[in-house]
Amino acid sequence: MGLIYLFTGNGKGKTEAGIGMAVRARGQGNRVVFIQFMKGLPTGEIEPLKELGVEVYRFGTENFVDFKNPSKEDVELAHKGLEKARELAKEKPFLIVLDEINVAVAANLIDTEEVLDFLKTIPDETNVLLTGRYAKKELLDAADLVTEMKEIKHYFKKGVPAKEGIDY
């Protein structure tokens, strides 16, 4: 039986935990699909994941999404990402990671009901991980496991910029 996992909260580590889950699943010889929403800038995890055999798909621009006024392109890309997930789920991979899907829902790029409808179609052989801040209650309720990353302290608040190799 596949399970639904959800990593959320304002602390660092949601995507990193998803990467770890993907690596562990691949290490056991399983097929893993890693779909990133709202991410188009180069990040350090993409090539190593591909080298391990993780199928990586990215649906985002190189710009940050304006939560108050998301662009038509941001909305279209998010829907394409969810459609890709639907398509690949039919092939019954062991794990599908929907990285930053919670943020895409919070930014009104995708409706909560669309994600819930997708989750209802997941084959028994497939596990799904939803990552990102601002997880909606309905998604929390649908998950079998929820982990909240809580920020206690962050160097960004001291003006330290994001570090290549650590933050991206």
The CATH number for 16's domain is: 3.40.50.300
Please check whether residue 67 lies inside any domain of the structure.
Answer: yes
Could you tell me if residue 124 is inside a domain? yes
Overall number of domains in the chain: 1
143 in any annotated domain = yes
The pLDDT of residue 166: 86
* Residue 72 domain-assigned (yes or no): yes
Q: What is the per-residue pLDDT for 163?
A: 84
The dihedral over CA atoms of 43, 21, 128, 83, expressed in degrees to the nearest 10, equals 20
Domain annotation covers residue 164? no
pLDDT exceeds 90 at position 56: yes
pTM of the predicted structure, to 2 decimals: 0.94
Q: Does some domain include residue 93?
A: yes
* Rounded distance between C-alpha atoms, residue 9 and residue 85, angstroms: 23
Distance CA 62, CA 60 (A): 7
**Average pLDDT of the segment spanning 42-52:** 96
User: What is the extent of the structural domain holding 84?
Assistant: 4-158
Q: Is residue 168 part of a domain?
A: no
Does residue 165 fall inside a structural domain?
no
